[in-house]
Amino acid sequence: MLLIAIYYVVAIVVLTLHFTGHLERWNLEWLVFVLALTVFPAVLYL
């Protein structure tokens, strides 16, 4: 349960930084794709 909470916090932080433009400025836009890839198997499993 703790890992899910940590995952959600990281996801919210990454999305917030993405929409505010910080990830593009820091060349970390790939984090959005990594986050999407980690969600994809869970969606298929459910």
**Which own/partner pairs from 34-39 qualify as long-range (CB within 8 Å, at least 24 positions apart)?**
35/10, 35/11, 38/7
The percentage of residues in the chain with a pLDDT greater than 90, rounded to a whole number, is: 72
Q: Give me the pLDDT at residue 46, please.
A: 67
pLDDT category, 23, cuts 50, 70, 90? very high
Residue 35: per-residue pLDDT: 93
Answer for the pair 32, 12: CB distance below 8 angstroms, yes or no.
no
Length of the chain: 46
Asked whether the predicted pLDDT for residue 37 surpasses 80, the reply is yes
For residue 40, what pLDDT is reported? 84
